[in-house]
Amino acid sequence: MTWNHRVISRKYETGETYYAIHEVYYDESGKPSSVTALPVAIFEDSIDDLSWTIDRIRECLSKPVLDYDEDFPDV
């Protein structure tokens, strides 16, 4: 199973939409299959690891936004 950081949108009952960074996991065919319930918090054991994580998060901004309710209806 592979994973990466992705931007996830979620619409509230008020009609407001928010965007957050989550970890997304993929099935064998590469389709998103699960997502973390809460957005990621950035903390690492070293500056190098922190830099790596920030770089991965920056990469997710160039990918399509996933919709929490539509792309992960079973969560």
- Helix H or strand E encompassing 13: none
pLDDT digits (tens, 9 = 90+) for 34-45: 999 999 999 999
Tell me what the pLDDT averaged over the chain comes to.
Answer: 94
CB burial of 8-45 (b: ≥16 within 10 Å; e: otherwise) equals bebeeeeeeeeeebbbbeeeeeeebbbbbeeeeeeeee
Could you state, in order of their start, the residue ranges of all structural domains in the chain?
A: 2-71
Instruction: Return the pLDDT at 6.
Output: 98
Does the predicted model carry a pTM greater than 0.75? yes
Structure confidence at residue 57 (pLDDT): 95
- Phi/psi region, residue 70 (left: phi>0; alpha: psi -120 to 50; beta: rest), is alpha
Specify the pLDDT at position 27: 93
